Amino acid sequence: DTGVSQDPRHKITKRGQNVTFRCDPISEHNRLYWYRQTLGQGPEFLTYFQNEAQLEKSRLLSDRFSAERPKGSFSTLEIQRTEQGDSAMYLCASSFKGPPVNEQFFGPGTRLTVL
Amino acid sequence: GESVGLHLPTLSVQEGDNSIINCAYSNSASDYFIWYKQESGKGPQFIIDIRSNMDKRQGQRVTVLLNKTVKHLSLQIAATQPGDSAVYFCAENMNTDKLIFGTGTRLQVFP
């Protein structure tokens, strides 16, 4: 257990529905990251926050995806009008920005299945 | 474009032997590299990292080697144990805090 928690662990939804995932980072970490991982592949970067500011978004993050971190603590990732291609593991990671490195600690992930 | 790749998708080793997992990266501007271990149903777990100003770094039973000339990274696991069975990813970072992962190598340890 890295100290990063995600909820839910599994989500099954029908195509076209909206889903929201939550990530609670390690409390003293000021950076929070979202990645997506499909079967047999490495995680792909989606977006990250420093405190409450969203600093970077991948081109993978289409208009149907939105992420927030309103108080600089937990974060939510929402997918609207889900598609079957959204089926994947959604991973959250957190780190503390500072030298020498920013080791990212990953949560267990939320596995999304879109039927 | 940016990419991090692995030479072998699956590596099978006997318990007690040493394991070597290789990784090639394409971006010479990358300055930080990390190896992660991922067990089934879990998120990636940090194993060891190395900065580009180093060639070698050792941890407990693990060693990472970095060859910047050929843009190659390797993870050596000494005395491999059944608990080492997992998928291993290398990842690179170019001072942006965004990690770029490869596709992974599955390590299977048999008795």
Report chain A residues touching chain B, CB-CB < 8 A: 2, 4, 31, 33, 35, 40-45, 48, 56, 91, 93, 95, 97, 100-109
B15 — phi, psi (to 5°)? Answer: -55, 130
pLDDT in tens, A28-53: 899 999 999 998 889 999 999 999 99
**Is the Cβ pair A104, B99 closer than 8 Å?**
yes
Closest Cα partner for B80 from B107, B45, B53, B40? B107
B68 to each of A17, B5, B46, B99, how far by Cα in Å?
A: 47, 15, 22, 18
The alpha carbon of residue A44 is apart from the nearest alpha carbon of chain B, in Å, by: 7
pLDDT confidence bin for A99, thresholds 50/70/90: low
DSSP-derived letter for residue A51 is T
pLDDT in tens, B29-61: 888 999 999 998 899 999 999 999 999 999 999
**Is the Cβ pair B97, A31 closer than 8 Å?**
yes
**Is the Cβ pair A4, B98 closer than 8 Å?**
no
User: For B98, which of A48, A100, A103 is closest by C-beta distance?
Assistant: A48
The secondary structure of A79-103 as a DSSP string is: ESS--GGG-EEEEEEEE---SS---
Q: How far is it, in rounded angstroms, from Cα B97 to Cα A56?
A: 10
